[in-house]
Amino acid sequence: MEPLFKSLIIQIAPQPRQMPPPPLNQNDLQLIFSDVRRTYPYQSFAFTPDDRGAIFQNAPDDSVELRPAQLQILAKLDGPEPLMAATAERKVMTILKTASNRLQMEIFVQCAIQLVALAAVPGDKPDAKAFVSETLMRDVEQATVLGPDYFGGGIRFRSLKENNGGEDSISIEPFINDNAMLYLEHQKTRLAVTEPITLDRLSTWISDAFEFVSGPTMNLLTR
């Protein structure tokens, strides 16, 4: 069974040179947009309402937001031209490297990765609500104590990364729009506790996120 990847969100915070961080140079932001657009043709460019950053956008679920304290990319992975794991990672890293080089952001103090996917419920008669409640939560009665319309809404597994001040987690829920599918949300957070965060390390963590959902998470659902 293979997951159907839906979206990838990357948030990364640069090391501030002064507090509060000054607005980003508007000429630099326009040059970044021009450079990025040669490979990834975002349709619109706008400065943020406070004139401290900029937003590139194709749609609300496909955008780049550059601010003094945070760079964020929301990449749409499904649709007419779906992005596979390697292609999505390449897109995100190309944009971040282009922006960070132009803005002279080399060191980052924290980052967050969110990867969303859908997965088909195993079995001949797929029922996501029953699968989550009975197979994952191993419960058939607790939710009904709250009322006849309640059901087990999901389960979350966590892994604390004490050495680098972060956490990995995976949430599994019934997909409300299609009870034959499961909604998967994998998150990774990292803090620069013992050493700075670099874009090369971020690239590895993005690859790890895709591999975790495709590998261990699918193994859990089909065991």
* Helix%, strand%, coil% for the chain, nearest 5: 30, 35, 35
Q: What is the mean pLDDT of residues 175-181?
A: 94
Q: Which residues contact 153 (CB under 8 A, 6 or more apart)?
A: 132, 173, 174
Domain that holds residue 178: 4-222
Give residue 28's pLDDT. 97
Report the number of distinct structural domains present in the chain.
1
- Residue 73 pLDDT > 90, yes or no? yes
Question: Which of the residue ranges 23-37, 48-62, 89-103, 124-138 would you say has the lowest mean pLDDT?
Answer: 124-138
Q: What is the mean pLDDT of residues 144-148?
A: 75
- The whole-chain average pLDDT of the chain stands at 91
Q: What is the mean pLDDT of residues 161-187?
A: 91
pLDDT band, very low/low/confident/very high, at 81 (cuts 50, 70, 90) = confident
- Residue 139 pLDDT > 80, yes or no? no
Name the strands in the sheet holding 155-161, side by side, starting at the edge strand that comes first in the sequence.
44-47, 54-59, 62-67, 70-76, 4-14, 108-120, 181-191, 166-174, 155-161
Tell if the pTM clears 0.75, that is, is over it.
Answer: yes
% pLDDT > 90, the chain = 70
Question: Which of the residue ranges 9-18, 44-53, 135-144 would you say has the lowest mean pLDDT?
Answer: 135-144
Q: What is the mean pLDDT of residues 110-135?
A: 91
Q: Which is more confident, 85 or 122?
A: 85
Give residue 21's pLDDT. 85
Closest CA to 63 of 53, 73, 77: 73
For the CA atoms of the chain, what is the radius of gyration? 20
Place of tokens 């401290």: 52
pLDDT band, very low/low/confident/very high, at 193 (cuts 50, 70, 90) = confident
Residue 112 vs residues 67, 71, 72, 195, 203: alpha-carbon distances, Å: 15, 11, 9, 16, 12
- Residue 10 pLDDT > 90, yes or no? yes
Q: What is the mean pLDDT of residues 15-41?
A: 92
- Residue 16 pLDDT > 80, yes or no? yes
% pLDDT > 70, the chain = 98
Q: Which residues are bridge partners to 6 per DSSP?
A: none
